[in-house]
Structure 1
Amino acid sequence: MHDRERREVLVAGAGLLLVPWPALAAGKKPKKEELEVSPGEDLMREHGVLNRVLLIYEEISRRLDAGQDPHIEVLAAAGELIRRFIEGYHEKLEETELFPRFEKAGKLVDLVSVLRQQHAAGRAVTEEILKLAAPRTMGSAADRARLAGSLRGFVRMYRPHEAREDTVLFPAFHELVGQKEYERMGRQFEDREHELLGEAGFEKAVAEVARLEESLGIFDLAKFTPQ
């Protein structure tokens, strides 16, 4: 065997020795390290969960207006998801980690002020929705109309709210804190998610919203394609 071939064999053998024996015995590939999620990506994918709940709200408000069964239990679960995942985690993160930095730097302060006001308004609407998301409400035309109006109001506010954050606030935040701090905060956001929501908090929220969509028959993305 030539020296070059011998070196290649030795290198290949060394590579095999680096793999834990149980993994080889089970025929498994070594696990790859999880990719870190940046603060902007983290917040924007949470907006994806919010957007899917907004679709649920739109469908239920449509059913309420049409006198159809709105599946009130689905609405109650969706409202609780908003309160727990969006208001209790996502918005709190913005209010403690993003907004104060802009206010201290004197940047986008008018936008941040409106965003804070809308967070407070959204929580009030969520409480109204959860209060009305009960079987007794379905027997009252006035309560059904009131609930449908609350759902539409929530959707109308949060669509531009999240769009302004995605296109203005989050990009500016990256520039404001710099790359090193931005990366550190990405790890901090992940730790906070695990602390408040447990392991795989985002993935669980996605799975939950998917189940709610299926209950309403709006999970199939193809249904939204114009014919």
Structure 2
Amino acid sequence: MVRVHCCIRRDTMNSDRRISRRTLVASGSLAGAGAVLLAYPELSLGAQQQERPTQRQTPGQTPGQTPGQRLGQRQAQGQPMTPVEDLTAQHGAVGRLLLVYEETALQLQAGKQVSAKPIQEAAGIIRTTVVALHAPLEEQYVYPRLEQNGRHADVVKALREQHAAARQINTQLLSMVKNGSFENPKQAAQAMHAFRRMLTAHVAREHSEIFPAFQKAMSPDQYRELSQTFQEKERAALGAEGFDGVIRRVASIEANYGFQDLGRFTAEARQAPVAAAGAQARVAAQP
């Protein structure tokens, strides 16, 4: 008969049963250990939890917090946003401007008279926020870190090329404006559509693949130090108003299209079957 020496503490109040794993191992009996684990399955779960590798946390992160809660906590404590949060916020501003580009392109394609002023203002924001700040941050700090590790080389190469293309298209859009309107509406609409499509793919790839890999490649100290660097670069590029000033300018442009009402997009989505049928009819009618 195999004997297993173990220490069991019984608590009559809560029926908590605990066994010394050290004593269990010392017994040297696999059969006995198996029998005890069958009787007390919580031991197996506890062992798994203890042996599970600890997930790397962002400096200042509390386990179980959502990203929004972590950001709010750091802001309340006067701590800077992390590099990925900085870049993601900038992407959000660009995404809002891309909706303006898309709406303008649709109006131009429908033959409507469209003022080019909102697009000029949007292109100006992209020039100061993306061309002068966001792209250099990624090209100087994010992409090299992955290139040094030999990871995501093909994706990083494509992302660098898209930065160059974005700078070129943004400049071209500004050159298409004459006396407050687009000199060639069809060409301008095509440029805005291509711009939106490319940057949508660009941002999605960075959020889902590049940013997570970049964060994993950094130690907590490196990541914390880079947060300060990003904040300094942002202040130098955006001035005293900072990113809050950018968002106010974006909101002002959105007001020209009624985009300040976020609920309008919900209403459009609920009418999607009707809208999709109309879009298919428009495509079929095109030469």
Using structure 2 for the length normalisation, give the TM-score.
Answer: 0.65
- Spell out the pairing of 1:84-95 with structure 2 (5 A cutoff): 84-95=128-139
Contact 1:54/1:155 (<8 A) preserved: yes
- Which one has the bigger helix percentage? 1
What's the Cα RMSD here?
1.6
Q: What corresponds to 1:173 in structure 2? A: 214
**1:214 to 1:35, Cα distance in 2 relative to 1, 3 A:** same
Contact 1:129/1:147 (<8 A) preserved: yes
Aligned counterparts of 2:179 and 2:107: Cα–Cα separation in 1: 15
Larger radius of gyration: 2
5+ unaligned residues in a row in structure 2: which ranges?
A: 1-74, 271-287
Aligned counterparts of 2:241 and 2:138: Cα–Cα separation in 1: 20
Please give the secondary structure, in 2, of the residue aligned with 1:218.
Answer: coil
Match of 2:141 among 84, 94, 97: 97
Q: What corresponds to 2:99 in structure 1? A: 55
Contact 1:75/1:133 (<8 A) preserved: no
Query: Within the alignment, does 1:147 sit opposite 2:188 as a pair?
Result: yes
5+ unaligned residues in a row in structure 1: which ranges?
A: 1-30
The aligned amino acid for 2:194 is G
Query: Within the alignment, does 1:112 sit opposite 2:156 as a pair?
Result: yes
Cα deviation digits, residues 82-117 of structure 1 (max 9, x gap): 111111100111111111222222111111100000
Contact 1:39/1:186 (<8 A) preserved: yes
Contact 2:114/2:181 (<8 A) preserved: no
Q: What corresponds to 1:12 in structure 2? A: none
1:137 is displaced (CA, Å) by: 5.1
- Spell out the pairing of 1:26-105 with structure 2 (5 A cutoff): 33-105=77-149
Please give the secondary structure, in 2, of the residue aligned with 1:177.
Answer: coil
Query: Within the alignment, does 1:161 sit opposite 2:205 as a pair?
Result: no
Q: What corresponds to 1:187 in structure 2? A: 228
Aligned counterparts of 1:218 and 1:32: Cα–Cα separation in 2: 30
Please give the secondary structure, in 2, of the residue aligned with 1:77.
Answer: helix
Aligned counterparts of 1:55 and 1:80: Cα–Cα separation in 2: 16
Aligned counterparts of 2:100 and 2:163: Cα–Cα separation in 1: 20
- Relative CO higher for 1 or 2, CA cutoff 8 Å, sep ≥ 6? 1
Please give the secondary structure, in 1, of the residue aligned with 2:240.
Answer: coil
Q: What corresponds to 2:283 in structure 1? A: none
Query: Which stretch shows the higher mean deviation, 88-97 or 197-206?
Result: 197-206
The aligned amino acid for 1:44 is T
Aligned counterparts of 1:120 and 1:148: Cα–Cα separation in 2: 20
